[in-house]
Amino acid sequence: VERNRCLPLSLWHGKVQQQQQRLHCRQTFYGKTTVALDLVINPLRVATAHGVKVLCLVVGKPATNETENLRSNELLQASKVMMMLFTPSGDLITANIAARVYYSMALVK
């Protein structure tokens, strides 16, 4: 299953309710605690007194820590912001590409 960034809620209407497609995506929700969920947005046909309506049924489960860690690492490596991680004694543990280019590979062991 391919996981994509979620479409804005306004576009769910077209994809899910009109075209009756199932969407898979990962969405991060920010608040006191940040939570990343893998979402499946399904069309749900409901019979009403005024005819059949198609609604969105959203099912989410927490993204695994392993998946999130890999994703975060890839994002940090590709970032244009220079980032370096050191031990408490000052030894370089890792640096992303932007930092390596700026400070030169001599710093990276």
**Residue-by-residue pLDDT tens, the chain, 109 positions:** 344 556 666 677 777 878 888 888 888 777 777 777 888 888 888 888 989 888 888 888 887 766 666 766 677 777 777 777 778 888 877 778 878 777 765 555 5
Pairing, β 35-48 against β 23-29: antiparallel
**Location of structure tokens 């306004």:** 10
pLDDT at 90: 82
pLDDT at 28: 78
pTM assigned to the model: 0.49
* In the block, residue with structure tokens 């198609």: 54
Instruction: Sort 77 into a burial class: Cβ within 10 Å, 0-12 / 13-18 / 19+.
Output: middle
Tokens of 62: 């927490």
Q: Which amino acid is at 65?
A: N
